[in-house]
Structures are given as C-alpha cells and as structure tokens.
Amino acid sequence: QSFKLLGFLDVKSVPCSRESVLYGSVGSLVVGLGHFLATSRVRRSCDFAVGGFICTMLGYWFYCRYNLAQHRIRQRMLKEGMRNKILFEGSSLDPERKQTVNEGSNS
C-alpha cells in the first residue's frame, strides 16, 4: 500500500522520501525531548520538535537526492563505457589495441 504524506507526496514511489520522513521523525523526537529535558517547557519543546523534523527531513532529502544523482551519473558513464568497449573492441579505434601495437613496434 502507498502512504501519502500531506495528501500528495507518495512516500513509497518518490526516491528518498521514505528515509527522509523516518530520519525527520527521529530528529524531531531527539530535538523535542532534548529541549524538554533541558528547559521543561512543553509548548516550546513542541515547536523545537517541529523545527527539528523539518530541518532533519530537508537535510537528509538533499543529501540523499545528491547521492542518487551521482549514482545515476556513474551508472550512465559505466553503461556508455561498456557499450563503447563492445562497439570498438578489435577495431582500429580500440585504445587497448593501440597500446599493444605501439609496444610491439618499440621492441
């Protein structure tokens, strides 16, 4: 089953959203409880908990999306490299073949 946050964000299908919400809730608990233990002010601690949730969730969201983008770029480069390896293997454009031909002529 899908879980919709705020009625429109499908947590299951959007990358990084599930982890962001989970880390945000843990951050909220830590910040709110820590502030309550330090000051014993309930209302202010709830405000800090909401702020902790937002900051932790957004922080992890950007971190996760950045890593996901880097992973996709590396994956695309690897895919293109594998395609070029298959395409140019054994031809005059093969960089490995040029090295072996040049090494053989130097001896």
pLDDT tens-digit profile of 56-69? 999 999 999 999 99
Q: In 3D, which of 28, 24, 33, 20 has the Cα closest to residue 61?
A: 20
Domain assignment present for residue 3? The answer is no
Show the DSSP H helices in the chain as ranges: 17-39, 42-88, 95-106
Residue 71 lies in a domain: yes
Answer yes or no: is 48 within a domain. Answer: yes
Q: Is residue 37 part of a domain?
A: yes
Contact 31, 46 (CB under 8 A): no
Domain that holds residue 41: 15-86
pLDDT tens for residues 74-103? 999 999 988 888 777 777 777 676 565 455
Cα-Cα end-to-end distance for the chain: 68
Identify whether 104 is part of a domain.
no
Instruction: Give the total number of structural domains in the chain.
Output: 1
| 23 domain-assigned | yes
**Encoded tokens for 2:** 């899908």
- Full-prediction pTM beyond 0.95? no
